[in-house]
Amino acid sequence: MKPNLTLLTALLLPVALASAADSGAPFAQMARPWPRTNGAPKASDVCFSTRWPRPMNPADKWNAFQAAREFHATRLDWLYLSGQPDRDKAFVAKFKAAGFPVGGTLNCQLADSPTAAKRTYTMARTVDMKGEPLKDPWTKSWGMRFCCPNNPDYAKLYLDHARYALEIGVDHFQMDGVQLNDIMLHYGGCFCAHCVNGFREYLAKHSTHGQRTTWGIGDLAAFDYAHFLLGLGTAADAASSAWKGPRELRELFRAFQIESGLGFLRDMHREIDRIAGRKVGYSCNATEEFLVEYHKVHDFALNETYPATEGDPAFLYERRLKPAHELSKPFLMTFVSTDVPHNRRFIASAYALGANVIVPWDVFTGFTSPRFFGTPEQFSDLFGFIRANAALLDGYEDAGVFGAGIRDPRFSEHEPPLQVYAASDVLAVVRAKPGQADAPVVIHLVGAKSNQTGPMRVTFDPQRFFGGRPLKLRFLVPAAYDAVAHEKAEASRDFAPLTTATELPGGPVSVVQLPGVDPWGILVIEPAAERAATPWQPAVWCDEKSRFSESLQVRLGCPTPDTQIRYTLDGSEPAKTATLYQKPFRLDGSTIVTAKAFDARGVAGPSVSVRFERGSARPRLAPDADALQANLKLWLSAGTLATTLKDGAPVSNWPAVVGPAATIPTAKLLTGATPAAPAFGATLINGQPGVRFDGVDDQLAVAGFANACLAGKPFTVFLVTQSDDTQFGVCGNAANGSGGIPRLYLTRGTFSYDRIADSAAVGARPGAAAVTVYRHDGIKTASARSGGRATENRDDLPVVRQFGGGDLAMPFWAGNNSHAGILGEIIVYDRHLDVAELEAIEEDLAQRYGIGDHPRWQ
C-alpha cells in the first residue's frame, strides 16, 4: 500500500497541538457534583410508575405493587389517583409501607373535581378566538380540555387536586402538559377573556406606542387580539404559525403565554408548600423546554423521551444530560418505545451518564397503540444490577465520556485518556467520587448501537486513577435473569447475587481485555497496596479517525518516566534490542503489536500484546456507476457549486450533476414571505461543501420532479444532510416546501409515504452529518436507513399515482414551519436498489463526507 503522507501529516499535527488543552488531572478531580434536588431520585433508585392504581378493576390483569417488586423498584412516580379516597389511600399506603416515596401528578387538564364520580372538564378551560373549545389531539382523543393558567379558577382546581393528593399521602408532584398555553398556540388558543385582558396589560409593558401603531393597534385600552386576528381573516382555531398580522405580535403573545404558565406554577408551588407545611419536590414532563424554561420552577425533569430522535447516547449526553448537569437539575426519563433491546441500551446509557429511567411498564406509546408492559425477563437483570451496585452509583459523578460519537471537551481530542476498541460502538463513562482520591473509580461500558458489543479492549492512561499506583481490577455485569434468585434478592434485600463479578489481572496495567456486554458492564478500578517495582505496561492507542481509513495510526505510551518502549509487530516478545518506539506509526494490515517498557537499568515491565484487525474494504459505488446510471434521475451535489461559488454565496440555482437544476420557487412561503436563496458553504459538512438553509425563508425546488420520477413507481433516494432538527429534509409536495396529500416527506427523523400516521423511522442523530435512505418498491413496501443500517421497513403503504403538489422541495416545511439544515447531496433513482447497492453507495458517501458508520479496523 502506497503511504498516504497527507493523511499522516493531518493525523500527527493535531496530536501535538491538542494535548496542551488537557489538564491531565486525575478522574477524582474531574468529577463535578450533580446535586440531587428535592424529590429527585438517587443515582441508584429504580423508579417505577403506574399511571393509575392498578389493578384498576377486577378485569385488569396488571398489578402495580407486584410488578414494582419484580423490578426491584424503590420509588413510585407519576401516579394519577382514582378519585376514590379509600382506594387511593390503601394503594399509596401499601407502597409507603414498603419504603417508597410516592409521586403524584397534576396536569393541564384536571377534572373539575378530584373526587366526583363522573369526571367533567368544563371549568377554566382554554378556548379559541370565537370562544369555542380547542380541537387539540388530547381533547379529541380523551375529551379532556386544557385549563388556562390565566383563569383564576384553574388555580382553585389545581390546589383542590394537590390538597387531595397530599391527604392521600403523596410526597412529590409531576406536572404533565407543563407548557400549558404554549402548547395551545398550535390549536388556536387561548383567547379567553383572561388571556385577552392579560395580553393587553403585557403589551402595555413590553411594547411602545410607536410599535403598536406600526402593528395596526390603535387604542390599546380597546385592543382584543382575538378580534384583531379574526378581522384580518385568520381562522378562529388556526395554529399560531398561520395567524395573520405582525409576526412580532405573535411572538409577544407566545412570550406572554409562557410567562403566564411559569408565573402560575411558581404561585401554585408556593401554595402547595404552604398546604403541605414542607418543601415539596416538583418535576415536569418537558425535555428541551425544561432546559430552557421550566427548570426555573421545577426541581427535576421527568419526561417522555422518544427513540427516533432522542434515543442515541451522544444525543442524550450532549443535548440533555450535560446541559441538565450544568443547571444542577436531575433528569428522570420514560422511554417511549416497545423495542426491548433499545430500551435496555437506553436504560444502561442513562444510568451510566447519571440519569434514571422509569421501568418500562405501563408506558404510553401513542393515541392509538396499546400501552407497553415490559416483563421482568426483559429488564429485571438491569434493575437488579443497579440495586446490587448502589455503592458504585450513589455519590459518583461523571469524570469523562468517551466513544459513541461523543467528543468530551475536557480532554484532548486526539489523545483522550481512555479508549475502547470493539467491533461495535461502545459508550464508555468514567465516574468517580469528587475529590476522593482513593475511592474506586468505575468505567461504565454500554453497547451504543447494538446490544452485543463483542469483546472489548480498554486502554487508559493509568496516571488518571491513583497517581501512578498499581491497580486492582474487577468487572461487573448483570447476572442472567433467574426468577428465583430475583425473588430471593427482593425478599432479603441482598442484591449482590444479581451481579456477576470477575477479578482481572491487575498491577501496573494500561490495557484491559474484557468480554462483550449485553448491553452493560462496569469496570471497577481500585488502588493496590503495593507500589510498582518495574516500569508500567505500555498503553497501545489507535487514532479513532484512522480506524475508518486504509491504514491505522498507532501510538504507544508509558507513564513511568525515563523508560524506553520497545515493540515488535510479529507477535514475539520484545527484547532489549527490539525496535525503539519514537513516534506514532502506521499499520497497513492486521497486526499484533507487542510492547514493553525498559528502565535505565534495563529492567522490563509487563508486556502488552494487542491485535488490530483490518476488515476487508467495503465495496463502494459512485452514484453514477455503470450499473446505476440508467436509473439515476437526479443528482444534486454541493460539490459542484465549489467551482463557481465563494463561501457564503447565495445559491439561486443549484445545477445538477444529473437531472434538472433546483431553483428558487415562485410560490409564496407559508409565512407569506417570498422564498430566498440558501447559502453555499465550502466546508459545512465535516469539511466538505454543503448548502445551508436558514429555516426562515430559504427555499429551492425542482418543479414537477416528484410526480415525474417518484410517484406510481419504485424509487430510492439518498440524502446527505446535517441538522439539529429531526424534521429537516425534502418533500415531494408543494414547491414552497409545504405538505400535500398524498404525502412524500423525507426527513432526518422519519419517512412519510402517503400517510403521516404510518411513517417509517429514520432516526439520524441530531447534529451529526448523516447519510439517510428512503425507498419504496412501487407496490406497498417503504423502508428507511440511516447510519449504514436499516431503521424501519413497512409493507402497508401501497404505491400512490401522484403526490399532492408533486414538486421536489427543500427544505420540507413541517407544522407550517421551515426547518434549518445543510444539504450535501440529493440522489434519486427510479428503481428499488438492493441492499448491496445501498451499502456500496452509502459507503461512498460516508467516505466522501467523513461520516464514520463502519470502522475499517476492528
Binding site for Zn ion (CB under 5 A): 148, 150, 190, 192, 195
Which residue number, 260 or 594, has a Cβ lying nearer to Zn ion? 260
Give least dist CB 151 to Zn ion, A: 6
- Cβ-based nearer residue to Zn ion, 188 or 535: 188
C-beta of 195 vs 717, nearer to Zn ion: 195
Measured from the CB atom, the residue of 190 and 719 that comes closer to Zn ion is 190
446 alpha carbon, distance to own chain's centre: 15
Given the C-alpha cell 419504496, which residue does it identify?
Answer: 776
Q: How far is the CB of 189 from Zn ion (least distance, A)?
A: 7
Distance CA 202, CA 377 (A): 55
The grid coordinates listed for 835 are: 441492499
CB of 22 to Zn ion, least distance (A): 53
d(CA 564, CA 604): 9
Instruction: Provide the grid cell at 705.
Output: 420532479
Q: Are strands 808-810 and 700-702 parallel, antiparallel or unpaired?
A: antiparallel
Provide the sign of the torsion angle of the four alpha carbons 682, 685, 691, 693, taken in this order: negative
How far the first Cα of the chain sits from its last, in Å, is 19
> Residue 184 CB, nearest distance to Zn ion (Å)?
8
Cis before 190 (ω within 30): yes
The closest alpha carbon to 809, from 672, 706, 725, 700, belongs to 700
- 3 state DSSP class of 566: strand
Residue 815: CB minimum distance to Zn ion, A: 22
Task: Show Cβ contacts of residue 516 under 8 Å, excluding neighbours closer than 6 positions.
Answer: 422, 452, 453, 454, 455, 456
CB of 221 to Zn ion, least distance (A): 20
Residue 21 CB contacts under 8 Å (≥ 6 apart), including other chains = 412
Q: What is the largest CA-CA distance in the chain?
A: 94
Residues 6+ apart with CB under 8 A from 451: 341, 344, 345, 518, 519
Our CB check for Zn ion shows the closer of 192 and 685 to be 192
Nearer to Zn ion, 152 or 370 (CB): 152
**Residues 95 and 175 sit within 8 Å (Cβ to Cβ):** no
Min dist CB 261 to Zn ion, Å, is 11
User: Which of 704, 641, 633 has the alpha carbon at shortest distance from 678?
Assistant: 641
Quick one: which of 38, 159, 161 has its CA closest to 88?
A: 161
User: Residue 47 CB, nearest distance to Zn ion (Å)?
Assistant: 34
**190 or 662: CB nearest Zn ion:** 190
Is the alpha carbon torsion for 633, 637, 640, 646 positive or negative?
Answer: positive
Give the DSSP letter of residue 320: I
Contact 108, 146 (CB under 8 A): yes
Q: Which helix (H) or strand (E) holds 274?
A: helix 247-276
Q: Where are the alpha helices (DSSP H) in 98-224?
A: 137-142, 152-168, 181-184, 193-206, 209-214
Q: Report the candidate in 749, 625, 615, 770 with the shortest Cα–Cα distance to residue 685.
A: 770
Smallest gap from Cβ 146 to Zn ion, in A, equals: 9
Q: C-beta of 126: minimal distance to Zn ion in Å?
A: 6
Cell numbers found for residue 253: 403573545
- Least distance between Zn ion and beta carbon 181 (Å): 7
Kind and range of the H or E element at 662? strand 662-663
Name the residue among 351, 333, 336 with its Cα closest to residue 306.
Answer: 336
- Three-class DSSP category at 494: coil
Nearer to Zn ion, 150 or 334 (CB): 150
Element (H, E) at 362: strand 361-363
Question: In angstroms, what is the minimal distance from the CB of 292 to Zn ion?
Answer: 22
Nearer to Zn ion, 155 or 676 (CB): 155
> Beta 511-514 vs 397-402: how paired, if at all?
unpaired
**Selection from 493, 462, 456, 461 nearest residue 477 by Cα:** 456
Residue 198 Cβ vs Zn ion, minimum distance, rounded to whole Å: 8
* Residues near 673 by beta carbon (within 8 Å), at least 6 away in sequence: 696, 697
Task: Give the nearest distance from C-beta 194 to Zn ion in angstroms.
Answer: 5
Contact 308, 726 (CB under 8 A): yes
Which residue, chain included where needed, has cell 431553483?
Answer: 663
Place of cell 384553574: 154
The CB-of-152 to Zn ion minimum distance in angstroms stands at: 11
Q: 3-state DSSP call for residue 385? A: helix
How far is it, in rounded angstroms, from Cα 853 to Cα 835? 16
- Please answer whether residues 305 and 287 qualify as being in contact, where contact means their C-beta atoms are separated by less than 8 angstroms: yes
Strand 564-568 relative to strand 591-598, pairing: antiparallel
Instruction: Return the percent helix, strand and coil in the chain, to nearest 5.
Output: 30, 25, 45
